[in-house]
Amino acid sequence: MPPPQNPVLDASFAGSFLSFVKSLTPNNNPQKDSITPFWKTYALGNTEMVFNITDAGDAVVDPVATDSSLLERCAFWWSIGASTAQ
């Protein structure tokens, strides 16, 4: 079964990604019809954005708090980055 497609969600995601690449912020989304809400600048414990499609095919974009266990794993890899040449 192919994954569901939603052009609005696709354009919002792509625009946010492109905006970040070009200006280091996803908030300069060039898509006029973007459904992506304002995305706060990253800081430890800040939010991430979840791009999703409901069972009915509706696009949903929600900011969520980053899981603390994920932040702990990231902190570990960050702490050993210099010794692993990463």
CA distance 79 to 53: 35
State residue 43's pLDDT score.
Answer: 61
* Residues in the chain where the model's pLDDT stays below 70: 1-4, 42-46, 86
* Residue-wise pLDDT tens digits, 67-85: 888 888 888 888 888 787 7
Q: What is the pLDDT of residue 44?
A: 56
* Local structure of 69: helix, strand or coil: helix
All residues at 6 or more sequence positions from 53 whose CB lies less than 8 Å from its CB, including other chains: 4, 6, 9, 59, 60
CB atoms within 10 A of CB 23: 10
pLDDT for the residue 22: 92
